[in-house]
Structure 1
C-alpha cells in the first residue's frame, strides 16, 4: 500500500478494507455520471389516486392478480402516446429530436450484479397479463445473472420502483438516451378533501425526472396527471 492509495487516506484513523468495484459497477457509475453532468435534470413530484386500481385488483384472483407496477406500465404507455416528446431522444449536438413510433418501457430491477433495466417491448400493444408474465421472466433472468444485453436495449423510458421497500419520493437519474424516468414509492391511505368532506383514498407517489432541454415543467405536470387519470380507470388498461 502506497501513501497515495485510497486506503492510506483512511487507514491512519482505524482499520479499513479495500474492496474492488466490479466492471459492471464501473460501467454503471460512468453512465450515471455522464447523464447527471450532461443532462439538465428536473424532478416533478406528485401523487395519483389509485383507490379504484386497488379495488379492481381485488376482483382478480389467482394468477390474474397483477402487480400495480404492470398497470403503471400500461398507464405510462398511454401517456406517452398523448405526449410524444416523452418518447424521444435528443441528438448529441442538440439539433435533432428523434420521436420514436414504438413504445418500449424499461423496468429497473435490483439483482445480484446491481441495478439492471430489462425492457418490456411494445408495452402499448400488450395487455397486463402478458406484460406481467414477461416482466416475471426478465426479472428471473436478472436474478440468475442470465439477462442478455439485448434484453436491456432499446428502451424509450424507464420506471424505477421502491414500492416494495419504502420511501415517499426520490430523484432518479435519467437513463440516457431517454429523456425521462418515472420513480414510484409505496402507496399510502390518506384523507383527501372531496369538496364537502375528507375521504380515505389510496395515493401513489410519483417522481418524474426529465431532460429540461426537451420537456418543460408544465408538460411534465400534465404528463403525470395523465398517468393518474389512466390509473383511475384500471378496467380500461
Structure 2
C-alpha cells in the first residue's frame, strides 16, 4: 500500500482509514487519490484539521522521524475517540491482599499449563462478572438510530506495551473461561503482539478494555475509551498500606490496588460507574464471591 500511495502522490497522514482501529486500506488510498471523501466509519465526526506547526529550527536544531504504522493508527483512533466521546474517569481502590495470596498459591498450576497467573488474567475474569452484572458497560451507542446496542458476548481487549507502540489484542468469551485458561491465552496473545504477529481479526470485536500499568508504576491514570466501546479500566501499581481494622483496633498492612474507570457519559452516569467499580473491588477483596458471580 505504501508503494501505491507514493505512486499516487498521496500523503497517508491525510487519509482516514476505514479498517479496524482506523487502519488505512488500499481502497481508502485510491478513494482519496481520486478526489473522493476520505473513508471513515459511520458516525465518526469530521475532525478539525491540525494547525500548521511553527518553524522550530528558528529556536534550535531539530530532527524528524516518520511515525510507525502502529503510531499513525493510534493517532487516528485516539483523536476520533477524544472528539466523539464525552469521557469521565472514576477512581477507586481494592484490597487485593487475599487474591494476591491466591495468585501466588495457584501460580504453579498456570505454569504447568504454559501460562503465568498475572493480576491481569484475574482482572479479566472479574471484569467479565462485572459486565454481566452491569450490561450497560458491555454496550455501544448507535447515534444514527438513537439506540443502545447490548452485546450478548463478552470479549475483552488488553492493552499490550510493545517496542513499536500500544497494541490491543482481544480475548474472546472471557465469561466462559477459567482464570488459568485465561492466563495461558493472555500470555500467548501478548507474545504475538510483541512479536508483531497479531492478525487484524485478533484486534477486533472487543466490548471492553483493560489497561494495566501496574508493572511499570504510577498511582493512577485516565485511560481513553476505545470507540465504539463505552468504558475502559485502568490499573496502577499495588502498594502496601496501613489499613485500620476496627474489630482489632489496630492498623494492619494490606496490599491496595488503585484502579480507574473511564466511561462514555452519554450512556453511563456517575452512580453507575461507582457501582461498577465497587463490584470489581468486592470481587477482588473477597475471591469467594467470584465463584458465584463469575
SS at match of 1:17: coil
Contact 1:71 1:234 (8 Å CA) reproduced: no
Contact 1:187 1:203 (8 Å CA) reproduced: yes
State TM-score, norm by structure 1: 0.93
Q: Distance in 1 between matches of 2:229 and 2:145?
A: 14
Q: After TM superposition, list the pairs within 5 Å mapping 1:30-179 onto structure 2.
A: 30-62=76-108, 63=111, 66-93=117-144, 95-179=146-230
SS at match of 1:60: helix
Shift of 1:94: 6.4
Instruction: Supply the RMSD in Å over aligned alpha carbons.
Output: 1.7
Shift of 1:34: 1.1
Runs of 4+ in 1 over 3 A off after TM superposition: none
Shift of 1:186: 0.6
Shift of 1:54: 1.1
Shift of 1:143: 1.0
Shift of 1:92: 2.8
**Relative contact order, higher structure (CA 8 A, sep 6+):** 1
Structure 1 position 207 matched with structure 2 position 253: no
Shift of 1:197: 2.6
Instruction: Name whichever of 225-234 and 35-44 sits farther off.
Output: 225-234
Bigger radius of gyration: 2
Contact 1:112 1:145 (8 Å CA) reproduced: no
Shift of 1:61: 4.6
Contact 1:104 1:154 (8 Å CA) reproduced: yes
Tell me which protein shows more helix as a share of its residues: 2
Number of equivalent positions: 233
Can you give the 5+ residue segments of structure 1 that lack an aligned partner in the other structure? Answer: none
Q: Deviations over 1:160-202 (max 9, x none)?
A: 0111100000001000100000000110111112323322111
Instruction: Name whichever of 54-63 and 35-44 sits farther off.
Output: 54-63
Structure 1 position 10 matched with structure 2 position 56: yes
Can you give the 5+ residue segments of structure 2 that lack an aligned partner in the other structure? Answer: 1-51
Shift of 1:17: 0.6
SS at match of 2:175: coil
Q: Distance in 1 between matches of 2:186 and 2:107?
A: 19
Structure 1 position 25 matched with structure 2 position 71: yes
Contact 2:70 2:166 (8 Å CA) reproduced: no
SS at match of 1:59: helix
